[in-house]
Amino acid sequence: MTEPALAPRNAYVGVYIVWGIAVAASIVLGIVLPEDDRVPWMLVAFGIVVLLSFAVQLWFGRVEGFIVRVSASVIGALLIMGLISVGFGLAALVPTA
């Protein structure tokens, strides 16, 4: 029988890790890639973030609230990546000199 942890880790640390990776991936892809290739690679990056959210939550090994944490990771990453891609889209509309 396992003993309960006296001071369990914060369960939402994995959510914040996934959000941070989503921010970093979006910014790097937006800077490195040309305008025509951004959307397909953002979709690929989002797919990787979804798989990463499952992996991180399974690695933490807490059963309680698993679905809530995974959905918070995925929905938050979707919103973050969407807002950053909107920013890059608006920046692409500005004419360069």
Please write the tens of the pLDDT for every residue from 3-56. 666 666 677 888 999 999 999 999 999 999 998 899 999 999 999 999 999 999
Alpha helices (H) in 11-37, listed in sequence order: 13-32
CA distances from 61 to 43, 58, 80, 93 (A): 28, 5, 25, 45
Nearest by Cα to 29 from 5, 16, 45, 50: 45
Query: What are 68-94's pLDDT values in tens digits?
Result: 999 999 999 999 999 999 999 999 898
Single pTM value for the model: 0.84
Distance spanning both ends of the chain, measured CA to CA? 69
